Amino acid sequence: MLLYSCESFREIPENPSPRETVSSASRSSNCPEFPAQSLTDPESIDLDGKTIQKTGTLPAGEAIGFTFVGKTGREFDIQQNEEICVWVYTPDNQIFSGKTLPVDGTYTVHVEPRTDATTYRLTLESSEESIEVERQKIIQLIEGYLEAKSQLFGPSLDRELAKKFLTGERYEKTQISIKWLQENEAYYDYRLSRLDDSRNFSQNGDTATLEVTITEELSLYRNGQIDPNNSSNGPKSRNYRFTLKKIGSHWKIANIEKLS
């Protein structure tokens, strides 16, 4: 069996015809962009966190289909034998060939033989990784980052620790901040750094955003003396928007924007 995956979406007409097909692949090589046959009475399957195998005979010039209810953020895989072509439709009538389900709703799997009658073999799998699971992972990441700030910007100025939590623009800004602290014989003393609230979570593939309220109490020391202009007078709460990137199976903080 072969596993095909490509992170892309294409708008499709409601009733695609053979004249609208092209030679580019959909889920496998040498398959047209759109199916040639109409689909009637697809079989409904329960794919919630399960792996289901389907096999049978598929006559030439005919199509079969399956529907399943998917949720945003869950991982979806399909494996197939080379003698068939497979298209997956999203609930909003797009051809989907990625791995992370983009919207909630009913998805349709459309199967046709490449040429002659053949036996089809499909393995369909949907993970239990819901959007809520991803949100909890990100909250844990942010909490870990807040705890690590006393090492990143404290007396140890641990540059290497930044790689565990940060990427992209935020990683570069943190390296610049640590360099400035080193050159000015300065560091921060974090007496409190706490995540109080989170809201407005959004995920689009490997990018996510989350708005949070963070309360901190800290002092900046320069040459062993507190800098009162850059130190908090008691705990202060502020709102931020975190932008995150998923690298492999792990989220990292790509940017932090102060909202208030």
The tens digit of pLDDT for each residue in 12-26 reads: 334 333 333 322 234
Q: What is the CATH number of domain 131-258?
A: 3.10.450.240
Q: How far apart are CA 145 and CA 239, in angstroms?
A: 16
The closest alpha carbon to 138, from 8, 256, 7, belongs to 256
**Span 193-248, pLDDT tens digits:** 999 999 999 988 789 999 999 999 999 999 999 999 999 989 999 999 999 999 98
Residue 59 identity: P
**What are the residue boundaries of the structural domains of the chain, listed by start?**
2-126, 131-258
Q: Identify the three-state secondary structure at position 50.
A: coil
Q: How far apart are CA 130 and CA 201, in angstroms?
A: 13
Long-range CB contacts for residues 145-153, cutoff 8 Å, separation at least 24: 145/253, 146/193, 146/194, 146/195, 146/214, 147/193, 149/188, 149/190, 149/193, 150/188, 150/189, 150/190, 150/193, 152/178, 153/177, 153/178, 153/181, 153/187, 153/188, 153/190
Q: What is the pTM of this model?
A: 0.55
Decide whether 2-126 matches 131-258 in CATH topology: no
pLDDT of residue 29: 59
2-126 is classed in which CATH architecture? Sandwich (2.60)
The closest alpha carbon to 179, from 201, 148, 157, belongs to 157
